Each structure stands twice: as structure tokens, then as C-alpha cells.
């Protein structure tokens, strides 16, 4: 599941991301509760 989330986060950025920016976006999704049961 984490691999698919990572791919989605990177592909929806709209522009090339640095490694740090991609990691920041991924951690923002995780912190937002995307992996919790019943999340959108």
C-alpha cells in the first residue's frame, strides 16, 4: 500500500520533485490520516 501511495503522491505533483520534496509530500499524506480505516 505504501508503494502505491508513494507513486500516486509523486505522479500527481504536476512537476518534477526533488527527493526531499517527494518525501515531504508523502509524509504529509501519512500525517493527514490517509492510511487510517475509513479514510477517503
Give one DSSP letter per residue of 12-39, joined into a string.
TSSS---HHHHHHHHHHHHHTTTTSTT-
Q: What is the count of structural domains for the chain? A: 1
Question: The domain containing residue 18 runs over which residues?
Answer: 2-31
The answer to whether the CB of 23 falls within 8 A of the CB of 3 is: no
Whether 37 is covered by a domain: the verdict is no
For residue 40, tell me if it sits in a domain: no
The answer to the question of residue 22 being in a domain is: yes
In a domain, 13, yes or no: yes
Measured between alpha carbons, how far is 12 from 7 in angstroms, rounded to an integer? 9
Below-70 pLDDT ranges, the chain: none
The per-residue pLDDT for 5 is 93
Alpha carbon distance 6, 12 (integer Å): 10
pTM recorded for the entire structure: 0.80
Amino acid at each position: 500500500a505504501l508503494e502505491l501511495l508513494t507513486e500516486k503522491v509523486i505522479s500527481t505533483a504536476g512537476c518534477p520533485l526533488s527527493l526531499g520534496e517527494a518525501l515531504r509530500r508523502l509524509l504529509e499524506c501519512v500525517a493527514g490520516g490517509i492510511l487510517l480505516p475509513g479514510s477517503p
